[in-house]
C-alpha cells in the first residue's frame, strides 16, 4: 500500500473520461454475457440436451456467440480503452476527438451486438475468431479504425522523444489490428481463398489476433504497472526491446499450430512449432524484466492481478511448446485441453492484466477512488479461483478425453463419461467467473455513478484503502 | 524506437512478412491442386459437391457442428484415426478443393466426419441420429416437423407423435445430403507417391 504512487489527475486523463468510461462499461457488460454463454456451453458438454431444443442455443452457436462476445465485446473494448489511456498518459498528449471516439465506440458495440444476434439466428461464418457475418465486418473495421486513430495520434504527438516499453506494445496493438482485420476480411469473407488455404489463413488471423493485438495490450499494462506499483524499475530494461520484437516477429508465424498431422502442407505446422520455440526467448525476457510483477503476490491487490496475469502468461507459453511435441500433441490434440489453454491465455493472462490496468485507470479518469476496497479484493479472489478451477477442470477433462480417445475400442459414450468429472469441475469454475464478472461490473458502474454525482477531484491514490 | 516512421514500417513489415509467408505461399502452393484424373476409373477425384449438399454445408456451418466434430483424418503415426476407421488414409488438401468453407474443427466431442458418408449409408441413418440424438449429441427437434399421418410429404418419416408423422424439414434433408457426401477414399497418384514409405533396403544404400 505504501508503494502505491500518488495519483495525479492530468488533462490527458480527464479529457478522455467519457469515451474511455463507455469502452470500459461496455467491456464489462460483454464479459458478463460471454461468461453466461461460456457457462451454457460448458454445461452442454456434459449435459448435451441442455437448451438443445432451441436452435439459437445449439452448442455450436453458443460457442460462436461466446467467442465473439468475449473477443470483440470484452477483450476488444477493454484493449481499446487500456491502450488509448496508456498512450495518452505516457505520451502526455490528450486523446484527440473524444466525440468521434465515443461515436465509434457506440458503432463498434452496435456491430458486435448485431453480430451476436446474427449468430443466434444462424448466420455464423464458422471461421474461428471471425464468426460474425460478413455484412457486419465492414462496420467493425471502420469503427475500429476510428477508435484506434486517436491512439496513433497520441503516440506521434507525444511530448517527449523517448519512448517506453508500454508504448511500443500499445501502439503496435492498435496499429496492427486494422491491417490484420482487413486482410482476414478480404481473404476469408469478401473474396475467400479456396480449400485448405482458407484454414491456414484463418489460423494466421486467429493466432495474430491474440499475439499481435490482445497480448501486446496486456503486456503494455504489465510494463506500465509493475514499476509504478512496486516502486522498482523494470529489471534489465535493455532487453525489453528484444522481447517486444521477438513477440511481433515470431508470434506472427504461429498460425499453423493446430494443423499438426492434418491436411495442410507439413511445412505450415512445422514453421508454427519452430516459432513457438523461438517465442520462448520473448517469455524469458518478460520474466527477466518483470520479477517484481511475477512475485508481487504479497503487495497491493492491483499488483496481485498483475502477478496472476504474468504467471498465467508464462505458463501458457511453456504449455504451448509442450503441447506441440509429438507425444503430447498425439494425446491431447482435439481435446478440451486446447480449450483449457485458451482459457488460461485469454481468461487468465489477458483478462487479469487488463483488470489491473482498469483498477489503475478508473480513479484517474473519473477523479475519485474506487468505492469499495472489499469489492476489488472480492473480484480478485473469485476471479482467480474461478480461472484456476475452470482451467484445471478443462485440462483434466482434456487429459481424460485424450486417454479415452487413444483406446480404439472406446465409443464416444465412454469417452464422454471419462471427461465428465473434469467438465463438472469446469462448470463450477464458470459459475465463479460469472460472479467475478458481475462484481467487477457493479463496482465499475458504481464508480461511474459516484463520479457523476461528485464534483470533487480526489488527488489521492486510487482505492487508497484498497490497493 | 524514437524514429516513428521506421518503427511503424518495421511493425508492418513483420505482419506482411508472416502474411506473405503463410497466406500467400500456401495459396500459391495449394491453388495449383486440381481434381486428380484417374485413368483406370476414367473419372476425376474428388467429385464436385451436389447443390443440395452445398446447401447442407451451410446448415452444418450455421448450427456450428464443427465445434464438436472434426473433418480431418490424421496421418498414421499420429493418433488412432485410421484404427477407428474414420478413413482409409490420412486427409489431403485435395479432398477439400470443392468445399466452400472447409470445416476442419478443433475438438472431438463426437467422431470425425471426414468420411462419415462411408459409415452412414442412407439419409434415414442421418435423420435417426438428428432426431434421437446420442449420448454425446442432443436431439435436434427443430430440424423436424409434424404432418398428418399418410400425408404425401416426399420425405422419410422418422417416427410418429399422437398419430402424426414426424418428417425432416428441408434443412434436415440438406444437412443429410451434405453428411452423406463426406467421403474421400480415393488415393490420388501424386499424394500417394509423395507419402509412400521407401523400402528399408533402398534407404540404406550407400
A333-356, pLDDT tens digit by residue? 999 999 999 999 999 999 999 999
Picking from A16, A14, A162, the residue whose alpha carbon sits closest to that of residue A83 is A16
Residue A86 exposed, middle or buried by CB count within 10 Å (0-12, 13-18, 19+): buried
Q: Which of A92-96, A200-204, B55-59, B138-142 has the lowest mean pLDDT?
A: A92-96
Compare CB distances from A179 to B15, B111, B137 and report the shortest one's residue.
Answer: B15
Q: Could you give the CA distance from residue B15 to residue A144 in angstroms, rounded to a whole number?
A: 18
Nearest-CA neighbor of A228 among A306, A154, A313, A314? A306
Closest-CA residue to A348 (of A308, A382, A318): A308
Tell me if A18-224 shares its fold with A294-467: yes
pLDDT at A456: 52
Beta bridge partners of B45: B36
* Max CA distance (Å), chain A: 70
Contact predicate B126/B175, CB 8 Å:
yes
Query: pLDDT tens, A111-157?
Result: 999 999 999 999 999 999 999 999 999 999 999 999 999 988 888 88
Question: In 10 A of CB B39, how many CB atoms?
Answer: 7
Distances (CA, A) of A318 to A287, A312, A315, A324, B56: 12, 10, 5, 10, 41
CATH class of A294-467: mainly alpha
Domain A18-224 has CATH 1.20.210.10: yes
Residue A11 pLDDT class (50, 70, 90 cuts): low
Burial of A145 (0-12, 13-18, 19+ CB in 10 A): middle
pLDDT in tens, A360-395: 999 988 889 999 999 999 999 999 999 999 999 999
Question: For residue range B146-202, what is the model confidence (pLDDT) as tens digits?
Answer: 887 776 666 777 777 777 888 999 999 999 999 999 999 888 878 888 776 655 555
Q: Which domains does chain B have, with CATH numbers?
A: 32-187 (1.10.760.10)
Upper half-sphere CA count for residue A347 (Cβ side, 13 Å): 32
Q: What is the 3-state secondary structure (H, E, C) of B110-139?
A: CCCCCCHHHHCCCHHHHHHHHHHCCCCCCC
**Under an 8 A CB cutoff, do A265 and B30 touch?**
yes
| A1 pLDDT higher than 50 | no
Q: What pLDDT sits at residue A8?
A: 46
pLDDT of residue A465: 42
Pair A61, A145: CB distance under 8 Å: no
Q: What are the chain A neighbours of B133 within 8 Å (beta carbons)?
A: 48-49, 52
Could you tell me if A81 and A27 are in contact, meaning their C-beta atoms sit under 8 angstroms apart?
Answer: yes
Mean pLDDT across the stretch A416-429? 97
Is there a cis peptide before residue B46, judged by omega within 30 degrees of 0?
yes
B35 interface with A at CB cutoff 8 Å: no
* pLDDT single digits (tens) B105-125: 999 999 999 999 999 989 999
CB contact under 8 A, B70 and A334: yes
In contact, B166 and B159? CB cutoff 8 Å: yes
Q: Which residue does chain B place closest to A247, by CA atoms?
A: B14
Assess whether pLDDT exceeds 90 at residue A210. yes
Regarding beta strands B144-148 and B164-168, do their DSSP bridges make them parallel or antiparallel, or are they unpaired?
Answer: antiparallel
CB contact under 8 A, B19 and A183: yes
Report how many helices (DSSP H) and strands (DSSP E) chain B contains, helices first: 8, 5
Percent of chain A with pLDDT over 70: 94
User: Would you say A159 and A11 are in contact if contact means Cβ atoms under 8 Å apart?
Assistant: no
**Eight-class DSSP state of A237:** G
The pLDDT confidence band at residue A10, using thresholds 50, 70 and 90, is: low
In chain A, domain spans: 18-224, 235-289, 294-467
Name the minimum distance, in Å, from the CA of B49 to any CA of chain A.
13
In percent, how much of chain A has pLDDT > 90?
81
* Among B residues 64-93, those touching chain A with beta carbons less than 8 Å apart: 64-68, 70, 72, 74-75, 78-80, 83-84, 90-93
In this predicted model, what pLDDT tens digit does every residue of A73-111 receive, in sequence order? 999 999 999 999 999 988 888 888 889 999 999 999 999
Closest CA to A36 of A60, A72, A62: A62
Among the listed residues A313, A300, A315, A351, the one whose alpha carbon sits nearest the alpha carbon of residue A74:
A351
Amino acid at each position: 500500500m505504501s508503494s502505491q504512487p500518488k495519483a495525479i489527475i492530468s488533462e490527458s486523463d480527464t479529457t478522455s473520461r467519457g469515451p474511455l468510461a463507455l469502452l470500459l462499461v461496455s467491456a464489462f457488460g460483454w464479459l458478463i454475457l460471454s461468461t453466461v454463454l461460456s457457462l451454457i456451453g460448458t454445461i452442454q458438454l456434459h449435459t448435451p440436451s441442455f437448451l438443445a431444443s432451441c436452435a439459437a442455443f445449439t452448442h455450436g452457436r453458443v460457442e460462436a456467440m461466446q467467442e465473439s462476445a468475449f473477443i470483440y465485446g470484452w477483450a476488444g473494448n477493454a484493449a481499446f480503452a487500456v491502450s488509448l489511456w496508456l498512450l495518452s498518459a505516457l505520451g502526455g498528449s490528450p486523446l484527440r476527438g473524444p466525440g468521434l471516439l465515443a461515436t465509434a465506440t457506440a458503432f463498434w458495440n452496435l456491430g458486435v451486438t448485431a453480430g451476436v444476434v446474427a449468430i443466434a439466428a444462424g448466420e455464423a461464418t464458422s471461421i474461428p475468431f471471425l464468426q460474425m457475418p460478413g455484412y457486419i465486418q465492414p462496420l467493425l473495421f471502420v469503427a475500429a479504425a476510428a477508435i484506434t486513430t486517436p491512439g496513433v495520434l497520441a503516440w506521434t504527438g507525444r511530448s517527449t522523444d523517448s519512448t517506453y516499453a508500454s508504448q511500443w506494445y500499445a501502439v503496435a496493438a492498435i496499429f496492427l489490428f486494422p491491417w490484420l482485420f482487413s486482410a482476414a476480411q478480404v481473404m476469408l469473407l469478401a473474396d475467400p481463398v479456396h480449400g485448405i488455404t482458407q484454414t491456414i489463413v484463418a489460423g494466421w488471423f486467429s493466432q495474430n489476433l491474440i499475439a499481435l493485438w490482445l497480448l501486446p495490450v496486456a503486456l503494455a499494462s504489465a510494463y506500465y504497472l509493475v514499476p509504478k506499483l512496486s516502486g522498482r524499475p523494470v529489471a534489465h530494461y535493455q532487453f525489453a526491446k528484444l522481447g517486444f520484437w521477438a513477440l511481433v516477429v515470431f508470434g506472427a508465424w504461429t498460425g499453423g499450430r493446430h494443423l499438426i498431422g492434418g491436411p495442410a502442407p507439413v511445412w505450415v505446422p512445422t514453421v508454427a512449432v519452430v516459432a513457438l520455440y523461438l517465442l520462448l526467448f520473448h517469455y524469458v525476457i518478460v520474466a527477466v524484466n518483470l520479477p517484481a510483477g511475477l512475485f508481487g503476490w504479497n503487495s497491493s491487490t492491483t499488483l496481485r492481478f498483475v502477478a496472476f496475469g504474468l504467471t498465467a502468461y508464462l505458463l501458457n507459453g511453456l504449455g504451448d511448446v509442450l503441447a506441440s511435441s509429438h507425444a503430447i500433441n498425439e494425446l491431447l490434440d482435439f481435446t478440451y485441453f486446447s480449450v483449457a489453454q485458451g482459457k488460461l491465455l485469454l481468461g487468465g493472462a489477458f483478462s487479469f492484466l487488463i483488470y489491473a490496468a482498469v483498477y489503475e485507470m478508473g480513479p484517474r479518469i473519473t477523479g475519485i477512488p474506487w468505492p469499495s476496497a472489499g469489492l476489488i479484493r472480492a473480484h480478485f479472489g473469485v476471479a482467480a479461483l474461478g480461472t484456476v478451477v475452470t482451467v484445471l477442470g478443462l485440462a483434466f477433462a482434456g487429459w481424460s478425453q485424450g486417454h479415452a480417445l487413444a483406446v480404439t475400442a472406446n465409443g464416444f459414450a465412454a469417452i464422454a463419461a471419462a471427461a465428465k468429472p473434469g467438465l463438472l469441475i469446469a462448470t463450477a469454475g464458470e459459475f465463479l467467473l460469472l460472479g467475478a464478472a458481475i462484481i467487477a461490473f457493479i463496482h465499475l458502474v458504481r464508480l461511474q455513478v459516484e463520479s457523476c454525482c461528485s464534483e470533487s477531484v480526489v488527488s489521492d491514490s486510487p482505492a487508497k484503502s484498497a490497493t | 524506437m524514437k524514429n516513428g516512421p521506421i518503427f511503424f514500417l518495421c511493425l508492418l513489415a513483420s505482419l506482411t512478412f508472416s502474411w506473405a509467408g503463410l497466406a500467400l505461399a500456401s495459396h500459391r502452393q495449394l491453388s495449383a491442386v486440381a481434381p486428380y484424373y484417374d485413368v483406370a476409373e476414367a473419372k476425376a477425384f474428388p467429385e464436385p459437391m451436389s447443390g443440395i449438399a452445398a446447401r447442407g454445408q451451410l446448415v452444418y456451418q450455421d448450427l456450428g457442428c464443427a465445434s464438436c466434430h472434426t473433418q480431418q483424418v490424421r496421418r498414421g503415426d499420429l493418433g488412432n484415426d485410421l484404427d477407428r476407421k474414420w478413413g482409409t488414409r490420412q486427409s489431403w488438401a485435395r479432398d477439400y478443393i470443392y468445399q466452400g468453407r472447409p470445416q476442419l474443427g478443433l475438438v472431438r466431442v463426437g467422431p470425425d466426419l471426414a468420411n462419415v458418408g462411408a459409415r452412414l449409408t442412407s439419409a434415414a441413418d442421418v435423420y435417426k441420429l438428428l432426431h434421437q440424438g446420442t449420448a454425446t449429441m442432443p436431439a435436434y427437434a427443430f430440424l423436424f416437423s409434424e404432418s398428418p399421418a399418410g400425408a404425401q410429404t416426399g420425405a422419410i418419416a422418422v417416427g410418429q407423435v399422437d398419430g402424426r408423422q414426424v418428417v425432416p424439414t428441408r434443412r434436415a434433408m440438406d444437412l443429410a445430403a451434405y453428411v452423406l457426401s463426406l467421403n474421400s477414399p480415393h488415393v490420388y497418384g501424386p499424394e500417394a507417391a509423395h507419402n509412400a514409405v521407401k523400402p528399408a533396403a533402398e534407404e540404406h544404400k550407400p
